[in-house]
């Protein structure tokens, strides 16, 4: 499995390659980031690092043996022992159990490193792969939602550690 690394300043070049190479793939199941994201990538990267330093969010990359980014797994809006889980896996790495492994690893990190007791997540109804990952990793549906104008489901998982 790849290495799960907390986002650092030196990740920027590989992360930008990951986002550009997978833009169309991601846009098929989630809202496109838009051209401004790529134009202001360096500025956005610095802002993410500042949010991470403040403890608002924790951004992680799945880094392969050659230093390539294979995915992202993020904890956002950390407050009151809970955070929103988000993830995306590169097209070339999809379908191999990487998302399931990464979400499980992030649940462990959320409890052990960040002291969280619950995670929220959401996905669109037409994203069967993401719905399957969330079900396999112990998330349960808690309601409906809308993501980028598309119907979806909200999930929650308690992560109390023994």
Neighbours of 53 (CB within 10 A): 9
Per-residue pLDDT tens over the stretch 4-32: 999 999 999 999 999 999 999 888 777 77
Residue 112 pLDDT more than 90? yes
Residue 107 confidence (pLDDT): 96
Beta bridge partners of 73: 60, 87
Beta bridge partners of 91: none
20-52-85 Cα angle (round to 5): 70
Complete domains list, the chain, with CATH? 3-158 (3.40.630.30)
- Mean pLDDT rounded to a whole number for the chain: 93
Per-residue pLDDT tens over the stretch 42-100: 999 999 999 999 999 999 999 999 989 999 999 999 999 999 999 999 999 988 999 99
CB 1 within 8 A of CB 98: yes
Do β-strands 118-124 and 140-147 pair in parallel, antiparallel, or remain unpaired?
Answer: unpaired
Instruction: Write out the H or E segment, with its range, that includes residue 74.
Output: strand 69-79
Q: How confident is the model at residue 38 (pLDDT cuts 50, 70, 90)?
A: confident
3-state secondary structure of 70: strand
Q: Return d(Cα 48, Cα 127) in angstroms, integer.
A: 26
Residue 162 confidence (pLDDT): 60
Residue 3 confidence (pLDDT): 93
Residue 37 confidence (pLDDT): 86
CB 90 within 8 A of CB 69: yes
Residue 9 confidence (pLDDT): 97
Residue 26 confidence (pLDDT): 85
Indicate the pTM of the whole model. Answer: 0.91
Residue 160 pLDDT more than 90? no
Residues 19/26/40/45 CA torsion (nearest 10 deg): -60
Contacts 24+ apart (CB under 8 A), 71-79: 71/2, 71/98, 71/99, 71/102, 72/15, 72/18, 73/4, 73/102, 73/103, 73/105, 73/106, 75/106, 75/110, 75/114, 75/116, 75/119, 78/114, 78/116
Residue 155 confidence (pLDDT): 98
Residue 156 pLDDT more than 80? yes
Arithmetic mean of pLDDT, 127-142:
95
155: which 2 tokens? 């999930």
């Amino acid at each position: 499995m790849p290495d799960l690394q907390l986002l650092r300043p030196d990740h920027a070049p590989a992360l930008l390659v990951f986002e550009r190479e997978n833009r169309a793939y991601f846009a098929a199941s989630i809202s496109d980031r838009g051209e401004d994201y790529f134009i202001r990538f360096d500025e956005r990267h610095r802002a993410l690092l500042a949010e991470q330093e403040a403890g608002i969010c924790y951004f992680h990359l799945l880094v392969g043996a050659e230093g390539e980014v294979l995915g992202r797994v993020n904890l956002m809006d950390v407050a009151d022992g809970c955070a929103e889980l988000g993830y995306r896996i590169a097209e070339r790495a999809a379908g191999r159990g990487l998302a399931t492994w990464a979400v499980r690893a992030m649940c462990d990190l959320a409890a052990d490193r960040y002291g969280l007791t619950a995670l929220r997540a959401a996905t669109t109804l037409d994203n069967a792969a993401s719905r399957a990952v969330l079900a396999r990793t112990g998330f349960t549906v808690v309601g409906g939602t809308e993501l980028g104008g598309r119907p979806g489901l909200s999930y929650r998982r308690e992560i109390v550690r023994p």
